[in-house]
């Protein structure tokens, strides 16, 4: 029976309860229970479940809204409490922070000069700060996305291979030399390397046969903290020029030498012209940098120099000048991450068409990767931050100081009267040697405006403008370009200096003969 009952539906069971049981009532009509009523009840029951489920979602939504309102009221209450009890004029926190905040505000007040006159700084700077955060986040995201798409190459640290000289302060300076030997050197050419580079840079792709043809001894060295050179505890451009001087003396060259500066390496070449001019015969500058905050520049010149640079590079310059410690995070995530990437992405450089084609060459790519590996050998962030700060801080001199000028020491009316007839007490100041500058007109890293400024403050410099050339294309692996540079500096090739034969003047028995 239970099985039969279980097989029936609930509607049949309910109908069986009201079925004819044999009992008759005379005064009443038979009770009829239409099945349609049960169908309506069933449909009402189903709709009740739906309404109940919908009301549950509404309850959850209402609960969340209520909690949100409670939290907003709590935040307003906390804000009122802070304003009424902590941020009052006589509160302890306000009294302690008032002076430091006033000093910081006074130091940053000069930034308001960059705002339009109709903008309130209190409203403008929060918007600028928020937009800057979004821009940096977007740049970092795009950089990480690109790095995932490209094939990843790991940085390798190679065995030491440099020669060293011991400096007077006890530091070791690593160097690399190419060309003719010391006893046959006609011209010594010293080349300080640029940012994120090493002694292996020098003149990329230079052939030993070309150096021997001109009698050149090319010496490149690692800046302090780069490659295999010991770090300098407080280096500046003056100490950088002295390192060059001690290097020349350490390798046994006592005469005047030439300097070659490419890109940011020109910063150290400029310093040698200022601090050790008596030992420098001349300078070759290829796409040389200057301090982008050079005080001698006009507003229009500064605008033209900054305009071609990408936003990230401008931010890096600003951080190097104002907040250099923030550079540590950028450097550790890029060239100190242990992985290779293109040099323009690491340094936020905008390249011209010819440079774009050049760095895609596998030979150039392999050279740049090996140079970077040597540069970051020590794994320290400090020398890179020091180098970045040197580029944008006060150099201790201006390029105008290198201009040759006549300076007389006479004072008083009598000495001034004598100087009209004699110039014996007048001396020439500045750099007396030749300065040659090669500038690619398609260079977007060091735009031609930089060279235009140099030519304005150093009218005695020789400027060679190169149509259709970029930042790297004229110097890197270009035999004809390198030959043109040497010919301009040293004239026709004369080869190495002939070895001097010693004269024997010792008397001997028999006939004496001079050799």
Contact 497, 181 (CB under 8 A): no
Task: Please state, in angstroms and rounded to a whole number, the distance separating the CA atoms of residues 392 and 309.
Answer: 15
Token match 């040659």: residue? 436
Write the secondary structure of 439-500 as one string of H (helix), E (strand) and C (coil).
EECCCCCCCHHHHHHHHHHCCCCEEEEECCCCCCCCCCCCHHHHHHHHHHHHCCCCCCCCCC
> Closest Cα to residue 433, out of 385, 490, 509, 383?
490
Q: Which long-range contacts (CB under 8 A, 24 or more apart) does 92-96 make?
A: none
Predicted structure pTM score: 0.69
pLDDT reported for residue 71: 84
Task: Please state, in angstroms and rounded to a whole number, the distance separating the CA atoms of residues 471 and 287.
Answer: 6
Paired with 466 in beta bridges are 440
Q: Is the dihedral of CA 52, 58, 59, 60 positive or negative?
A: positive
Kindly report the number of other CB atoms within 10 A of residue 462's CB atom.
13
Contact 474, 481 (CB under 8 A): yes
pLDDT reported for residue 31: 47
Question: Which residues contact residue 126 at a Cβ distance below 8 angstroms, ignoring those fewer than 6 apart?
Answer: none
For the record, the structure tokens of 512 come out as 């004496």
DSSP per-residue codes, 405-433: EEEE---HHHHHHHHTT--TTEEEES--S
For 7-42, give one letter per residue: b (16+ CB within 10 A) or e.
Answer: eeeeeeeeeeeeeeeeeeeeeeeeeeeeeeeeeeee
Task: Please state, in angstroms and rounded to a whole number, the distance separating the CA atoms of residues 185 and 375.
Answer: 28
Task: Please state, in angstroms and rounded to a whole number, the distance separating the CA atoms of residues 95 and 114.
Answer: 31
Task: Please state, in angstroms and rounded to a whole number, the distance separating the CA atoms of residues 164 and 174.
Answer: 4
| Mean pLDDT split into 10-residue runs, the chain, 515 residues | 45 50 48 46 46 65 82 80 71 74 69 60 67 66 46 83 95 97 95 96 95 97 97 95 97 95 97 96 96 92 92 91 92 90 84 91 93 95 96 94 80 54 68 96 94 95 95 95 97 87 40 30
Helix (H, G, I), strand (E, B) or coil at 324: helix
Question: Which residues contact residue 308 at a Cβ distance below 8 angstroms, ignoring those fewer than 6 apart?
Answer: 350, 444, 447
pLDDT reported for residue 35: 47
Strands 405-408 and 426-429, sheet pairing? antiparallel
Distances (CA, A) of 96 to 79, 86, 88, 108: 20, 12, 12, 20
Task: Please state, in angstroms and rounded to a whole number, the distance separating the CA atoms of residues 108 and 112.
Answer: 8
> Closest Cα to residue 187, out of 205, 213, 166?
213
pLDDT reported for residue 476: 95
For 381-418, give one letter per residue: b (16+ CB within 10 A) or e.
Answer: bebbbbbbebbbeebeebbebbeeeeeeeeeeeeeeee
Give me the residue spans of the domains in the chain.
163-404+426-490
For the record, the structure tokens of 242 come out as 């002295």
Helix (H, G, I), strand (E, B) or coil at 343: helix
Task: Please state, in angstroms and rounded to a whole number, the distance separating the CA atoms of residues 15 and 38.
Answer: 10
Contact 350, 310 (CB under 8 A): yes
For the record, the structure tokens of 439 come out as 């500038």
Task: Please state, in angstroms and rounded to a whole number, the distance separating the CA atoms of residues 308 and 264.
Answer: 17
Paired with 477 in beta bridges are none
Q: What CATH class has 163-404+426-490? A: alpha beta
């Amino acid at each position: 029976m239970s099985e039969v009952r279980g097989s029936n539906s609930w509607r049949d069971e309910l109908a069986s309860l009201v079925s004819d049981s044999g009992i008759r009532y005379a005064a009443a009509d038979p009770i009829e229970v239409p099945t349609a009523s049960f169908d309506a009840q069933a449909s009402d029951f189903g709709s009740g479940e739906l309404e109940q489920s919908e009301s549950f979602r509404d309850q959850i939504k209402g609960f969340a809204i209520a909690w949100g309102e409670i939290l907003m009221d709590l935040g307003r209450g906390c804000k009122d409490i802070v304003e009424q009890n902590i941020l009052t004029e006589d509160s302890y926190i306000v009294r302690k922070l008032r002076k430091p905040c006033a000093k910081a505000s006074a130091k940053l007040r000069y930034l308001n000069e960059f705002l339009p006159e109709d903008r309130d700084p209190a409203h403008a700077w929060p918007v600028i700060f928020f937009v800057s955060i979004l821009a940096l986040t977007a740049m970092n995201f795009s950089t990480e996305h690109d790095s995932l798409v490209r094939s990843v190459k790991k940085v390798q640290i190679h065995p030491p291979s440099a020669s060293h000289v011991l400096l007077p302060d006890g530091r070791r300076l690593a160097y690399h030399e190419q060309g003719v030997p010391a006893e046959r050197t006609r011209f010594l050419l010293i080349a300080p390397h640029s940012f994120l580079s090493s002694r292996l840079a020098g003149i990329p792709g230079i052939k030993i046969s070309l150096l021997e043809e001109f009698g050149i001894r090319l010496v490149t060295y690692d800046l302090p903290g780069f490659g295999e050179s010991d770090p300098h505890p407080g280096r500046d451009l003056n100490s950088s020029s002295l390192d060059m001087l001690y290097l020349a003396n350490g390798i046994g060259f006592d005469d005047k030498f030439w300097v070659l500066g490419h890109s940011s390496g020109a910063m150290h070449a400029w310093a040698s012209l200022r601090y050790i001019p008596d030992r420098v015969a001349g300078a070759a500058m290829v796409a040389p940098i200057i301090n982008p905050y050079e005080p001698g520049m006009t507003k229009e010149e500064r605008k033209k120099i900054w305009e071609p640079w990408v936003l990230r590079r401008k931010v890096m310059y600003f951080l190097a000048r104002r907040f250099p410690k923030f550079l540590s995070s950028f450097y550790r995530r890029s060239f100190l991450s242990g992985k290779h990437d293109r040099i323009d992405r690491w340094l936020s450089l905008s390249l011209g068409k010819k440079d774009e084609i050049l760095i895609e060459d596998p030979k150039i790519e392999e050279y740049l990767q090996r140079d970077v590996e040597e540069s970051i050998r020590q794994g320290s962030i400090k020398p890179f931050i020091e180098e970045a700060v040197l580029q944008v801080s006060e150099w201790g001199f201006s390029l105008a100081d290198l201009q040759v000028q006549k300076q007389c020491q006479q004072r008083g009316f009598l000495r001034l009267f004598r100087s009209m007839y004699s110039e014996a007490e007048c001396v020439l100041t500045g750099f007396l040697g030749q300065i040659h500058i090669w500038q690619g007109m398609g260079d977007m890293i060091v735009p031609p405006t930089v060279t235009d400024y140099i030519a304005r403050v150093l009218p005695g410099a020789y400027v060679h403008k190169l149509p259709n050339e970029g930042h790297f294309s004229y110097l890197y692996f270009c035999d004809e370009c390198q030959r043109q540079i040497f010919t301009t500096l040293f004239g026709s090739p004369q080869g190495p200096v002939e070895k001097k034969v010693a004269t024997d003047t010792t008397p001997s028995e028999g006939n004496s003969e001079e050799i």
